Amino acid sequence: MRIAIISDIHSNIEALTKSMELIDTLSVHEIICLGDIIGYGANPNECIDLVRQRCSIVIKGNHEDAAENILMTEHFTDDARAAIHWTRTQLSEKNLEYLHTLPLSHSRNNLLFVHASPCQPADWNYILDENDAVEALHCYSELICCIGHTHIPLICSSRGRIQRITREEQAIINVGSIGQPRDRNIDLSFGVFDTDQWTYENIRSPYDMETAARKILNTTLPQRLGLRLFMGV
């Protein structure tokens, strides 16, 4: 089975739509979303609707958690906090209720899916580099843990950064971000995992960034949230 794994859409419908177009060409059997559908961008409801339509499993991210519990934003940056307050005014009641139902993790067939870290998923800790990844390996029993949260693609095992996975060792895979990449590459990022071949591929692609940024600039969202799309940070 080939599974597309997406994360950190952040209300960027242009990037999400492009990713779905790409996924439809990749012989994928299932799409799993690792959370942070909302926040930062201008189209939260549209992104939730498309994720609900296309994804078989959706994990809760910290931005979904903050939309439910606004006190969570005390730990956010000023821009992220402002974006969640704005997003709350835009979300339909149906979609806000949907966010409440999302699980913090999902496990099956030696694969674990979480948003931030397999260690206390509700604490939203960051796995920023290979050292963090190696320390997190003891927190789960599955062979592979798929995460997002940092917006930076990464594959790590106990040996540090690796290029490809094997059935002989645990690994953590960060699939990167659909809607707001932060590795100084402005192209959207997601992954495709083949459970039969036990392989993983990171997919990058340009999208209509100009429209996504212009929509942000035309709202009361912080302007930096639109401008940063052009920098990949």
CATH no. for residue 125? 3.60.21.10
Specify the pLDDT at position 19: 98
- Cα dihedral across residues 43, 49, 50, 56: positive or negative: positive
pLDDT band at 6 (very low <50, low <70, confident <90, very high): very high
| Domain carrying residue 89 | 2-230
Task: Check: CB of residue 117 under 8 Å from CB of residue 123.
Answer: yes
pLDDT band at 75 (very low <50, low <70, confident <90, very high): confident
pLDDT at 132 over 90: yes
Of residues 80 and 72, the one with the higher pLDDT is: 80
pLDDT at 13 over 90: yes
The overall average pLDDT reported for the chain is 97
Specify the pLDDT at position 1: 94
Segment 84-95 mean pLDDT: 97
* Selection from 154, 174, 150, 178 nearest residue 19 by Cα: 178
At 20-66, the pLDDT tens digits run: 999 999 999 999 999 999 999 999 999 999 999 999 999 999 999 99
pLDDT at 72 over 90: no
pTM higher than 0.95, yes or no? yes
Specify the pLDDT at position 122: 96
Segment 119-129 mean pLDDT: 96
What is the count of structural domains for the chain? 1
* Selection from 175, 169, 92, 160 nearest residue 130 by Cα: 160
pLDDT band at 9 (very low <50, low <70, confident <90, very high): very high
